[in-house]
Amino acid sequence: MSEPQANPERGKAVFATDRAHVFHSWSAQAQISPLPIAGGAGSYIWDFDGKKYLDFSGQLVFTNIGFQHPKVVKAIQDQAAQLTTIAPQHANEARGEAAKRITARAGKQHNKVFFTNGGADAVENAIRMARLHTNRHKILSFYRSYHGNTTSAIASTGDPRRWPNEYAFGHIHFFGPYLYRSPFWATTEAEECARALEHLEQVIIFEGPNTIAAILIESVVGTAGVLIPPAGYLEGVRALCDKYGIKWIADEVMAGFGRTGKWFAYQHAAVEPDLIVFAKGVNSGYVPLGGVIISDEIAKTFDDRVFPGGLTYSGHPLACAAAVATLDTMSEEKIVENAADIGERVIKPLIHELMGKHKMIGEVRGRGVFWALDLVKDRATREPLAPYGGTSPAMTELVGACKKLGLMPFTNYNRMHICPPCNVSEAEIREGFAILDQAFTAIAGHYTGN
């Protein structure tokens, strides 16, 4: 494993160049101060001052096998020596092998992959396939969701990043299950599930079933809260889709490839989607890659009908070689099994212990290495520690305390998400939770309840 070497002058130069020439996403450019990262290995990254950070963010929840896994680095190097790039109309070995491995981990009726550069354009193309296959135009998706920043993907997104970007048509939002902040006045998971499905069917009826091409949902809602669907919910969505001739698009961009302790998060249920969207963890983000896993039924639609979509880098050899190595490594090293075991045996008890010590943690939820802390000012009222669509001094101080103590956190509004690599060790998890305990202690004064 590489170790950090302090080089503060280099760090200052990297920061200066970034600020002079790089335009950052989702940011007011004059109000940010990005941390220059010098390197990483395993579950850690470090800056140019030599300070190490245990990564509990997965960056944007994509480093599923951690940083610089030697097998994947070597696969990229070997592919670069053989064939760095080729246009997508040609067959290339890396793309075929990646597609074979990806479909093998999905259902028996999923045998083809359309490759994209990332999750957003994968969502875009899945929507296109569903519309063309059904000859319908509407797409239903959760209010609490994030699907990407391209035109239809951001219109499908529920969170506030959609608001200034609403240029696509035919996108309808509905409420998914979220018992802790239930819009259905439910008191149990079973009630929440039943009422959420009743609500969805009413939306379908009032929107007109014959106008709806697809229901697009994250199998586990990611950025919007790590919301685990209650038992029976995905089965209920499948039944409604079948009843009304609607296609189910499972967004597995964040939840897929081991994150929840299964290859795909929908596999915690007993039903299969029509289209599966993936990216991120398929190759741990080492080279940009995404795609759509297509059911045989939908694929057949385009046997003799041109699919009107394509990308210059669809199935790029370097990205696909990284995917092959990542998936093989995850199987050989039992990384998906590790995520399931660590989540149940180590994270679950530690996260409940943390909640018991710090009242501002109103609820905890998750599975595998995909967890969320729902933070509140008052447990009785459940008032969020930061408003919807915004932040707060408490959240800012919490992030600052984590980084000072050597932990890289993931936060969104009033939540902290815990998303370490799928091959994280028990010792690293315990190290991270010790830091979280200190960080929450440092901001305890922001809790206003009893």
Q: What is the rounded CA–CA span in Å between residue 450 and residue 442?
A: 18
Domains, the chain, ranges and CATH?
8-68+334-446 (3.90.1150.10), 70-332 (3.40.640.10)
The confidence score (pLDDT) of residue 211 equals 98
End-to-end CA distance of the chain: 47
Q: Give Dmax over CA atoms of the chain in angstroms.
A: 66
Host H or E run for residue 437: helix 426-442
pTM: 0.97
Tell me the pLDDT band of 355, cut-offs 50, 70 and 90: very high
The confidence score (pLDDT) of residue 196 equals 98
The confidence score (pLDDT) of residue 4 equals 87
| pLDDT of residue 27 exceeding 90 | yes
Tokens 């199998």 — which residue?
219
pLDDT tens-place string over residues 260-274: 999 999 999 999 999
Show contacts of 229-232: CB within 8 Å, 24+ apart.
Answer: 229/176, 229/177, 229/193, 229/269, 230/177, 230/179, 230/189, 230/190, 230/192, 230/193, 231/189, 231/190, 231/193, 232/190, 232/193
Residue type, 344: E
Q: What is the rounded CA–CA span in Å between residue 437 and residue 402?
A: 10
Q: Which two tokens stand for residue 122?
A: 């994968």
| pLDDT of residue 2 exceeding 80 | no
Mean pLDDT of the chain: 97
Q: Are 227 and 366 in contact (CB under 8 A)?
A: no
Write the CA distances from 174 to 15, 81, 179, 206, 440, integer angstroms: 42, 49, 15, 12, 34
The confidence score (pLDDT) of residue 181 equals 97
Tell me the pLDDT band of 154, cut-offs 50, 70 and 90: very high
pLDDT tens-place string over residues 86-128: 999 999 999 999 999 999 999 999 999 999 999 999 999 999 9
| pLDDT of residue 1 exceeding 80 | no
The confidence score (pLDDT) of residue 3 equals 79
What is the percent of the chain with per-residue pLDDT over 90, rounded to a whole number? Answer: 99
pLDDT tens-place string over residues 198-222: 999 999 999 999 999 999 999 999 9
pLDDT tens-place string over residues 302-354: 999 999 999 999 999 999 999 999 999 999 999 999 999 999 999 999 999 99
* Arithmetic mean of pLDDT, 427-438: 98
Q: Are 124 and 152 in contact (CB under 8 A)?
A: yes
Q: What is the rounded CA–CA span in Å between residue 19 and residue 34?
A: 9
Helix, strand, coil shares of the chain, percent, nearest 5, are 45, 20, 40
